[in-house]
Structure formats: structure tokens, C-alpha cells
Amino acid sequence: MELASEARASEPVELIPAPSPPVIDLRVSRSTSRREEIYHLAVTSGLASVEELYTPFEVTASTIRRDLALHGGRRL
């Protein structure tokens, strides 16, 4: 006599792949966070130079200038 569990074990099983986790572009996430922080610094403490901003964020001066240009449409 065959047990039910043994009968099921011999049947083919269709494996369904697990859904993929969402892909998060960390570059976008970091840049958005950095821009928000730059905006916050400008609003709360006044003006800051590019040189004062690029070192703590570990980016180039050009990156800070691009971030500031993106904020150009927002009133700081």
C-alpha cells in the first residue's frame, strides 16, 4: 500500500519563480537625498559655497553645481 505523501513525492511539481524585488538605482536615491539635503541647508542656514558642499557629500564641485542648477527653479 502506497502512502499519500509518497504518491505526491513522485508527481512532477511545477516550480513558480518568486517575484523579483524592485530594482532601486542607488545613484538616483543618493542624488535625490543629497539634493534634498542641499536644499534644506540652503533654506535653514543661508548660502553656502560649492566648496563647502562637495566635501561632506563626497562628490565633485561639478556635481554640486548640477544639483544647484536643478534647484534653480525652486525658490531657496
Domain range enclosing 71: 25-76
Residue at 62 is within a domain = yes
Report whether pLDDT(69) > 90. Answer: no
Is residue 5 predicted with pLDDT exceeding 60? no
The number of beta carbons lying within 10 Å of the beta carbon of residue 31 is: 17
pLDDT given for residue 76 in this prediction: 46
pLDDT confidence of residue 15: 80
Residue 65, pLDDT above cutoff 70? yes
Give the pLDDT confidence score for residue 60 in this predicted structure.
92
Number of domains in the chain: 1
Within a domain: 76:
yes
Q: What is the mean pLDDT of the chain?
A: 74
The closest alpha carbon to 53, from 71, 69, 68, belongs to 68
Give the global pTM.
0.52
Position 66 in a domain = yes
CATH number for 37:
1.10.10
Residue 42: is its pLDDT beyond 80?
Answer: no
